[in-house]
Chains A and B, each alone.
Chain A
Amino acid sequence: DAKTTQPPSMDCAEGRAANLPCNHSTISGNEYVYWYRQIHSQGPQYIIHGLKNNETNEMASLIITEDRKSSTLILPHATLRDTAVYYCIVRVVAGGYQKVTFGIGTKLQVIP
Chain B
Amino acid sequence: NAGVTQTPKFQVLKTGQSMTLQCAQDMNHEYMSWYRQDPGMGLRLIHYSVGAGITDQGEVPNGYNVSRSTTEDFPLRLLSAAPSQTSVYFCASSLQRQGRAKNIQYFGAGTRLSVL
Contact = CB atoms under 8 A, between A and B. Distances in A.
Contacts, number: 66
Contacts of B13: none
Given A94-B99, A98-B58, A43 B92 contact: yes
Interface residues of B, number: 32
B58 A43 contact: no
Interface stretch (B67-75, B78-86, B101-109): B101-109
A43 B90 contact: yes
B56 A43 contact: no
Given A43-B4, A104-B40, A104-B41, A96 B103 contact: yes
B50 interface: yes
B103 to A, nearest CB: 7
Instruction: Please list the 9 inter-chain residue pairs (A to B) with the smallest Cβ-Cβ separation, ordered nearest first.
Output: A43-B107, A102-B43, A46-B104, A104-B42, A94-B98, A98-B48, A103-B42, A96-B31, A93-B101
Interface of B: 4, 31, 33, 35, 40-43, 45, 48, 50, 56, 58, 88, 90, 92, 94, 96, 98-110, 112
